[in-house]
């Protein structure tokens, strides 16, 4: 070309970037600068997209500096590209400053900021930005719903659902899939199914979300029914579908069905199992007590066993008190990741369950030497838009007197129903009476007591989130309390949901 301008350069830079020829793209960008071409918003937007594509987003601040020097930071295209680039780097505060600097924000800008917060686990901030928008898009709706799902914030998620019903996004598949995921993760699986049934078109994401949702709620039979329905459509199952199916089998202890689906995935659907599929099978075998078979499966994997598989087997060893295989699992995990906190905790719990207190002390000393801390048990519950957090034996809540009074009443009522504390659930070397008191101040019981105090009887279910696995004694108590107070109680722990209703749990006491 006898004459090249900025558009000539940028068009070719974009072409190279889209073809993943980043070396040529960078070379052209350097030539553009050397030849004195104008550095306008078009150039900077392309440069930022190139950094993201090359996974060099950490260079964003230096580009941002040049943008500010030339006064382009208020441009919507440049500002949105900065938000995206900072988001990839995890620099959320920088992204927000770039967003705030945009003079005329468009839908793409707003959506980019909502997605940035959601993708970086800043879910409250994501929802707040969404609330400030005037005309959300399908991407904005799905990002905001993702934030609600991660927070288990049912009320805001329901409000967003109401907003979609006033727009053309009511039957949109992308938004519908996000709604299914949100309702499932917020403990309202019936609403998830209603959304699923109301979609005009269910794609593979819709089917996978519904199958995984039922699995997460311990409703393995329903998950497998949905999978059977899926096979009657023209939507083909993929790897994620079978992760949901095998999870449903492992959560329900359905060994023969799990083995059949594992074989069918390979022979009938041509899908090669990945680490998630093998880990589901390891947990399915291990949870049922087939620890030797689970270990054999790990050794027969066609690739190097992952942390996920070894952790699944270690968790099963803790349940079945198999110290020897448990030690072997821990050895393999710590060879891969010596700083793995959860493995130290599981190993300590396994020794404690078998009353090997000297071994427990050794593991705890090792954790101290490595600077590792056990994650404290934490439960939380939402009431009138405010989230209330509780730790074990928490005395910091303003309503602590009423909470502990409610716990005393519940203790008395459960004992009248022949409740007997499971002292084995306390993995500490203390006296029996201390163990009983310790059980009654677990974080989920404090959250439940608060929920019973603050919500009227006969109202909606009490929903509690817990960051760790619910213990056997709390599980037994929750069943009794649901019968005593005639309230549905939904607890989401680190693995799944438990729906307690009239003395029974949806998991069938298998978790």
Altogether, the residues listed in the chain come to a count of: 511
pLDDT band for position 311 (cuts 50, 70, 90) = very high
**How much is the pLDDT for 428?**
76
Average model confidence (pLDDT) for the chain? 90
DSSP secondary structure string for all residues of 126-184: HHHHHHH-SS--HHHHHHHHHHHHHHT-HHHHHHHHHHHHTSGGGG-HHHHHHHHHHHH
Q: Which residue has the higher pLDDT, 49 or 203?
A: 203
Q: What's the whole-number mean pLDDT along residues 162-173?
A: 86
Contact by Cβ (8 Å): 118, 147: yes
% of the chain residues with pLDDT over 70: 99
* Residue pLDDT, tens place only, 467-484: 999 999 999 999 999 999
Joined together, the tokens standing for residue 455 give 């919500």
Q: Give 37's contacts (C-beta < 8 A, 6+ positions apart).
A: 4, 5, 6, 9, 43
Residues 169 and 137: their CA atoms lie apart, in Å, by 8
Rounded to a whole number of angstroms, the distance between the first and last alpha carbons of the chain is 69
For the cut 80, the answer to whether the pLDDT of residue 458 exceeds it is no
pLDDT at 500: 95
When computed from its CA atoms, the radius of gyration of the chain, rounded to whole angstroms, is 27
Average pLDDT over residues 213-222: 93
Degrees to nearest 5, angle at CA 139 with 136 and 141: 55
pLDDT of residue 235: 94
Q: What is the DSSP string of 78-106?
A: HHHHHHHHHHHHT-HHHHHHHHHT-SS--
From the CB of residue 317, how many other CB atoms can be counted at a distance below 10 Å? 25
Q: Residue 13 has what pLDDT?
A: 83
The string of pLDDT tens digits covering residues 498-510 is 999 999 999 888 8
Summarised one tens digit per residue, pLDDT across range 87-132 is 988 899 999 999 999 988 888 898 889 889 888 888 788 888 887 8
pLDDT band at 249 (very low <50, low <70, confident <90, very high): very high
Torsion of CA 281, 287, 293, 295, to 10 degrees: 80
State the burial class of residue 354 (Cβ atoms within 10 Å of its Cβ: 0-12, 13-18, 19+).
Answer: middle
What is the pTM assigned to this prediction?
A: 0.79
- Exposure string for 109-139, b = 16+ CB within 10 A, e = fewer: bbbbbbbbbbbbebbebbbebbeebeebbbb
Residue 178 has pLDDT above 90, yes or no: yes
> Kind of pairing, strands 489-492 and 462-466?
parallel
Q: Is it the case that residue 425 has pLDDT exceeding 90?
A: no
Residue 86 structure tokens? 């900072």
Q: Check if the beta carbon of residue 252 is closer than 8 Å to that of residue 510.
A: yes
Closest CA to 148 of 136, 159, 135, 133: 159
Region 39-51 average pLDDT? 81
Question: Tokens for 285?
Answer: 């075998």
Give the confidence band of 449 by pLDDT, cuts at 50, 70, 90.
very high
Give backbone dihedrals phi and psi of 72, rounded to 5 degrees, phi first: -100, 5
Where does residue 51 rank: exposed (0-12), middle (13-18), buried (19+ CB within 10 A)?
buried
CB 313 within 8 A of CB 329: yes
Q: Which residues lie closer than 8 Å to 454 by C-beta, 6 or more apart?
A: 383, 384
């Amino acid at each position: 070309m006898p004459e090249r301008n900025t558009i000539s350069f940028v068009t070719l830079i974009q072409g190279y970037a889209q073809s993943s020829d980043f070396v040529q793209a960078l070379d052209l960008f350097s030539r553009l600068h050397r030849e004195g071409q104008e550095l306008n918003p078009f150039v900077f937007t392309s440069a930022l997209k190139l950094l993201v594509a090359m996974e060099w987003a950490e260079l964003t601040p230096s580009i941002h500096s040049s943008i500010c020097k030339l006064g382009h930071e208020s441009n919507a295209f440049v500002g949105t590209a900065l938000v995206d680039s900072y988001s990839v780097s995890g620099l959320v505060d920088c992204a927000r400053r770039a967003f705030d600097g945009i003079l005329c924000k468009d839908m793409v800008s707003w959506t980019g900021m909502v997605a940035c917060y959601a993708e970086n686990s800043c879910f409250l901030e994501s929802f707040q930005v969404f609330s400030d928008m005037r005309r959300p898009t399908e991407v904005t709706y799905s990002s905001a719903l993702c934030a609600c799902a991660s927070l288990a914030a049912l009320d805001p998620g329901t409000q967003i659902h109401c907003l979609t019903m006033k727009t053309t996004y009511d039957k949109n598949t992308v938004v519908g899939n996000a709604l299914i995921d949100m309702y499932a993760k917020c403990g309202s699986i019936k609403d998830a199914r209603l959304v699923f049934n109301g979609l005009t078109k269910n794609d593979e994401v819709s089917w996978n979300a519904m199958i995984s949702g039922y699995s997460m709620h311990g409703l393995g039979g329903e998950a497998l029914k949905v999978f059977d329905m899926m096979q009657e459509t023209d939507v083909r199952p993929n790897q994620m579908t079978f992760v949901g199916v095998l999870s449903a089998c492992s959560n329900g202890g359905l060994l023969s069905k799990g083995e059949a689906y594992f074989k069918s995935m390979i022979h009938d659907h041509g899908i090669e199992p990945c680490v998630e599929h093998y880990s589901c099978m390891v947990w399915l075998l291990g949870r049922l007590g087939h620890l030797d078979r689970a270990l054999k499966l790990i050794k027969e994997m066609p690739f190097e066993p992952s942390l996920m598989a070894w952790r699944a087997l270690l968790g099963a060893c803790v349940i079945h008190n198999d110290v020897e295989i448990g030690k072997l699992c821990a050895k393999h995990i710590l060879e891969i990741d010596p700083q793995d906190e959860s493995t130290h905790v599981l190993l300590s719990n396994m020794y404690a369950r078998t009353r090997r207190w000297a071994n427990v002390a050794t593991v705890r000393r090792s954790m101290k030497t490595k600077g590792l801390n056990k994650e404290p048990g934490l439960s939380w519950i939402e009431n009138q838009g405010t989230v209330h957090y509780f730790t074990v034996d928490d005395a910091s809540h303003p309503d602590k007197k009423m909470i502990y009074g409610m716990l005393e009443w519940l203790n008395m009522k459960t004992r009248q129903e022949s409740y007997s504390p499971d002292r084995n659930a306390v993995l500490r070397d203390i006296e029996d009476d201390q163990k009983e008191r310790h059980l009654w101040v677990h974080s989920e019981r404090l959250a439940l007591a608060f929920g019973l105090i603050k919500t009227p009887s006969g109202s909606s279910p009490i929903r509690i989130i817990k960051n760790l696995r619910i213990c056997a004694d709390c599980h037994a108590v929750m069943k009794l309390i649901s019968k005593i107070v005639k309230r549905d109680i939904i607890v989401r722990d680190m693995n799944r949901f438990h729906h307690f209703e009239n003395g029974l749990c949806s998991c069938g006491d298998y978790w």
